[in-house]
Amino acid sequence: MTERDLKKGTTTLGLVCTDGIVMATEMRATMGNLIGHKTTQKLFQISDNMALTVAGLVGDAQMLARWLTAEVKLYELKTGTTMSLRAASTLMANIMNGRRYMPFWVQLLLGGIDSEGGHVYSLDAAGGSIPDKFQTTGSGSPFVYGVLEDRFIEDLSVEQGKMLGVRALTAAMKRDSASGDGISMCVIDSNGYHKVSPEDIAKIQTKLAA
């Protein structure tokens, strides 16, 4: 069995809220039954208005995050404007679709805000790009979908979204052995990209436990 076969397992999510978006992941990286890393970065800031979560092969995911960050920055430098989420998701889809001889072994969520509001796009290994109000990827995604289908509402605020994101990831980490070791989360709103601190996540977890 190759390293490509072994590096599997993740849970990520993205939520569109009325006043921004919430993106979150857990932090465990597995190699079969082995927990390879406990503080793996799966949430990447692409720009002031855009973030990417990754699931799948680590090397592919990191390279794609760097590639998209560079392309978005070049676009901003050339045009003096912010790239829309639709354009960024189409760009990422074309990059992934163009590598048919050896697909990128990843599932991505691209989220952010632009002049049309908040968006979360799911991108698959073949270059498919699908927007929705909430999305999740990885081995823990069935457990996340169970929580989101039950509790997501159309007028969700960012504060409610943070709470829901922690609740959903906690459910996944309890049942999916490939997910765990903490939560990484960000909010993107009209003021830009904000990383949610571990202390704030711990406070949310305490509220949920109560």
User: Which residue among 2, 10, 39, 82 is the active-site one?
Assistant: 10
Alpha carbon distance, N-terminus to C-terminus of the chain: 44
Tokens of 88: 């960024």
Angle between helical axes of 158-175 and 198-209 (0-180°, round to 10): 80
Distance CA 47, CA 186 (A): 12
User: What is the side-by-side order of every strand in the sheet holding 117-123?
Assistant: 43-47, 50-56, 106-114, 117-123, 129-132
Catalytic: 137? no
* CB distance 147 to 4 below 8 Å: no
- Which of 156, 151, 154, 137 minimizes the C-alpha distance to 208? 151
| Cα dihedral 110, 84, 118, 183 sign | positive
The whole-angstrom separation of Cα 174 and Cα 209 is 14
Which tokens hold the place of 139?
Answer: 């081995």
Give the catalytic positions in this structure: 10
